[in-house]
Amino acid sequence: MSRRTDFPLLVRNPGMHYLDSAATAQKPRVVLDALRTFYETAYANPHRGSYALSMRATDAYHAARERIARFAGAVDSTGVIFTRGTTEAINLLATAWGRAAVGPGDEIVVTRLEHHSNFVPWQQLALAQGAAFRIAELTPDGDIDLDRLRRIVTPRTKVVAVAHVSNVLGAEIPLQEITAIARAVGARIVVDGAQGAPHIPVAFDERGIDAYAFSGHKLGGPMGIGVLVARREFLESMPPYQMGGGQIEFVNDDRTTWAPLPNKFEAGTPNVGDAVGLAAAVEYLDGIGMAEVARHARDLSAIAVRELRLVEGVRVFGPPITARCGVVSFTLDGVHPHDLATILDQDGVAIRAGHHCAQPLMRALQVPATARASFAIHNDASDVTALVAGVRKAQAIFGGVGTPAHAAAR
């Protein structure tokens, strides 16, 4: 069941088929209401203000952290660090922990399907520290080759960094098996949950991982806020990422001590409004139920894969139909993905086109770019129908495989 009426932008644009939630999700009304209510009733600088309005802002910030911790399945909310997004959360770890813990001869392991945000920070850390940078390759079906991963993870491996869900293939990564491989050699396990958290329970405490990062805007929350959930001992083992107001315990002339978690990693004025908005977003998702959110996206993905494969000249990338988390990447013979996206947009179908910040994966797929449709709780079968119709229209315009123009050209 589509919940399109919960999303004001889509209500205002009834002819729009928004299929780009993997890039950023539309905002349900409850998130917009939460933002407006905070700024109209509780806006002030939190923490040390000794007046009532500041105390209300402090309470709102604290309550947002607690709500998001529950969504993430983390009992200890002090391990929930607010960042600007997944990218900053991973850079925090690669910088604050990595520079202190990784040295010459050590190893860092990522996978071939990582988003640049979970590839480049670790690559650059390896270059700076003289560590070896290892890439876990894929099977012909596009899955992580676990046997090869076991061979490249050694006692010198300091961290294994993996996506929870591929932003190109829509495949859920076998975190349990990968975590066991990392744990067997004492390596840290860091998870990019930008595509996982919108569809799959984070269940942080249950997974036994060290850190999980996700972005608010991909969950229907505001842009400009993200979350790093990490084990207390992991966070306490590393120095701050940034320094300034709010994360100081005491400043001497010759040294400074840091505030307890989570303040240690939240220098500067807190982004209270967006934290409140993100808390409203996860409340909305939990109200629907993450199992239903996941089922809805998987069902629509399955329909899209089946329908697209009926179009001659379409190549769909990724796992079997039943193993997708709301993402379908494909190409159309004779039509560049950017051209395809432009034609689809003429009929109100919004998709993504490009390398999706995953150039190492594109090289493995042997394509420069793909078209990508991604599904959320506000989509329904009519969006798939519009997508497939647009693909056929593009094929006709460019004289692709299966069209009269293509037959005449032959």
Q: Read out DSSP for 29-92?
A: HHHHHHHHHHHHHT-S--SS--SHHHHHHHHHHHHHHHHHHHHHT-S-GGGEEEESSHHHHHHH
Assess whether pLDDT exceeds 50 at residue 256: yes
Per-residue pLDDT, 1: 63
Count how many residues are written for the chain: 410
Per-residue pLDDT, 403: 55
Assess whether pLDDT exceeds 50 at residue 156: yes
What would the mean pLDDT of 395-401 be, rounded to a whole number? 83
Per-residue pLDDT, 347: 96
What would the mean pLDDT of 64-76 be, rounded to a whole number? 98
Assess whether pLDDT exceeds 70 at residue 355: yes
Assess whether pLDDT exceeds 90 at residue 402: no
Is the preceding peptide bond at 262 cis, omega within 30 degrees of 0?
yes
Per-residue pLDDT, 107: 98
Ordered by where they begin, the domains of the chain are 30-287 (3.40.640.10), 290-399 (3.90.1150.10)
Confidence of residue 181 (pLDDT cuts 50, 70, 90): very high
Per-residue pLDDT, 401: 57
Per-residue pLDDT, 400: 61
Q: What is the mean pLDDT of the chain?
A: 95
What's the CA gap between 4 and 8, in Å, rounded?
A: 8
Q: Which residues are catalytic?
A: 357
Digit-coded pLDDT (tens) for 8-52 = 999 999 999 999 999 999 999 999 999 999 999 999 999 877 899
Assess whether pLDDT exceeds 60 at residue 297: yes
Per-residue pLDDT, 314: 98
At position 399, the amino acid (one-letter code) is G
What's the CA gap between 329 and 157, in Å, rounded?
A: 32
What would the mean pLDDT of 344-365 be, rounded to a whole number? 97
CB pairs under 8 A, 24+ apart, for 188-191? 188/97, 188/158, 188/159, 188/160, 188/234, 189/159, 189/160, 189/162, 190/90, 190/93, 190/118, 190/159, 190/160, 190/161, 190/162, 191/161, 191/162, 191/163, 191/164
What's the CA gap between 335 and 400, in Å, rounded?
A: 7
Per-residue pLDDT, 140: 86
> Regarding predicted confidence, which is higher, 225 or 403?
225
What's the CA gap between 92 and 396, in Å, rounded?
A: 48
Digit-coded pLDDT (tens) for 94-116 = 999 999 999 999 999 999 999 99
What's the CA gap between 305 and 318, in Å, rounded?
A: 10
Digit-coded pLDDT (tens) for 270-280 = 999 999 999 99
The DSSP output letter for 370 is E
Least confident range of 76-80, 286-290, 323-327: 323-327
At position 303, the amino acid (one-letter code) is I
Assess whether pLDDT exceeds 80 at residue 409: no
Least confident range of 147-151, 183-187, 321-325, 367-371: 321-325
Digit-coded pLDDT (tens) for 192-248 = 999 999 999 999 999 999 999 999 999 999 999 999 999 999 999 999 999 998 899
Report the interhelical angle of 52-72 vs 272-288 (nearest 10°). Answer: 40
Per-residue pLDDT, 50: 87
Task: List beta partners, residue 330.
Answer: 316, 371
Question: Which residues make Cβ contacts (< 8 Å) with residue 55, sequence separation at least 6?
Answer: 49
Assess whether pLDDT exceeds 50 at residue 405: no
At position 385, the amino acid (one-letter code) is T
Does this model's pTM top 0.75? My answer is: yes
CB 211 within 8 A of CB 205: no
What phi and psi, each to the nearest 5 degrees, are found at residue 15? -90, 5
Assess whether pLDDT exceeds 70 at residue 404: no
